[in-house]
Amino acid sequence: MKTEILKIGAIFLITVAVVFWALNFVFFQGKAPSSKASGETFDLTFEPATMTTTTDNQDFTVTLKVKPSVDLVLRGYSLILPFDKAKLKVKSIDYKAGSAVADLADTTASVSTVNQNGTMKLLGESTSATGITVTGGGTTDLLSLTLTSPNASSGATLAFDSTSAKLYAIKSDATLFEVPLAAQVKFDINGGGPIILPTGTVTPGGTSGNATLNLKVKFQGISSKPADAYNKMAVRIKLLNESTNAATDYKSADFVADDKGIWSGSVKFDVLAGNNYTVYVKGPKHIQKKVCDKTPTETAGGTYRCDTGKIALTAGANALDFSGIIMLAGDLPVQDGAVTSYDTSLVRNNLGKTDADSLAKSDVNLDGRIDTQDYSLIIAALSVRADE
């Protein structure tokens, strides 16, 4: 059994490598792509936004639409979409923008293999020399999927994040560059289920488990309660049991701040009672922090480091006060686990802006504007750079 699992894993990794190697030639003619452009991003939307089926084995169609932040000329797109093959079946794939990349993309003809593997490789390209023009702020249909829900009482979720959705666009000088997804997007069927991504599974809401973690955290640059419009952050939490070396999937929860800028939120996990857990905290514009102590402290903001988890968790309520340390800002949407020139450029290019889209990406201290304070916070984080 173990040998078979290793074989399957090896085949999957080889397949992914071949796909991305081939995409390099399809979209970039063997040349390395340009780095992320200066602030250009795109949103994906599902239409309809959710789906509820009323009978078993009911078919339904969902359309994927792209909304870029600026006008773009598309050369192609790569959308990798894992799904729970026990709860969904793919019936057809219809490319609306451009055509399927020959020999690489999944199509209606390959749905048998798609349903066996539980992953859709939605790879489209324009064979026209002028590409596909998409208007900034407007929506363009990329493709439609016809799916079947075998059980009307069983929920499932489709989702994309920055690792699984990319556009390839043409610059005015005819060179190509990669455009990142602005934020994770999901499509719930029959109430939804775990979010399956190429990088792993994230269970939304953190609403199930025998242990409730009531967390308090402090984020860099936020010293008081933000205005109501900005007083909510989706924070991702993960646990590591040092005894078994078993890590959970991430769970996300909404955190809100008090008058002192301390953020509180709750998330549930199934745990084995023990005294040696490590908690990982990842804010939406922040570097991931590894926390080994129930009430950690530090002498200077952002300097806390630890090695082995010593947090005791039991079934029921567990109070974890992490407000004695600072969660450093810097890894902006689309998050890639590090503070890079993309993050500094994103803030710099959005200075002075107050529109909702720009604020969602670059307003680090949540004061309703993007200014030099936000830029300074990103620069300060360059000394740490990467997730713990």
Structure confidence by residue, pLDDT tens digits, 282-292: 999 999 999 99
The residue type of 73 is V
Domains in the chain (CATH in brackets) are 34-190 (2.60.40.680), 205-388 (2.60.40)
Q: Identify any residues that bridge with 282 across adjacent strands, giving them in sequence order.
A: 236
Residue 346 — pLDDT band, cuts 50, 70, 90? confident
Tokens of 151: 């059980």
Distance CA 155, CA 150 (A): 10
Asked if 298 and 324 touch (Cβ cutoff 8 Å), the reply is: yes
The predicted-structure confidence for 28-86, as pLDDT tens digits, reads as follows 444 444 444 456 888 999 999 999 999 999 999 999 999 998 998 898 899 999 898 88
| Cis bond before residue 334 (omega within 30° of 0) | yes
Residues 363 and 42: their CA atoms lie apart, in Å, by: 18
Between CA 100 and CA 81 the distance in angstroms is: 15
pLDDT(306) > 80: yes
Q: Look at residue 272 and give its three-state secondary structure.
A: coil
Amino acid at 232: K
Structure tokens at 146: 């016809």
User: Other C-beta atoms within 10 Å of 208: how many?
Assistant: 10
Q: Does residue 12 register a pLDDT over 60?
A: no
The C-alpha atoms of residue 32 and residue 118 are separated, in whole angstroms, by 30
pLDDT tens profile 70-82: 998 898 899 999 8
pLDDT > 90: what percent of the chain?
A: 43
Confidence (pLDDT) at 199: 59
Looking at the predicted structure, is the pLDDT value of residue 4 above 60?
A: no
pLDDT of amino acid 25: 44
Distance separating alpha carbons of residues 189 and 92, to the nearest angstrom: 17
Please, is 30 exposed, middle or buried when counting C-beta atoms within 10 Å of its C-beta (0-12, 13-18, 19+)? exposed
Q: Is the pTM of this model over 0.85?
A: no
Residues 78 and 178: their CA atoms lie apart, in Å, by: 10
Q: How many CA atoms lie within 13 A of 1 on its CB side?
A: 0
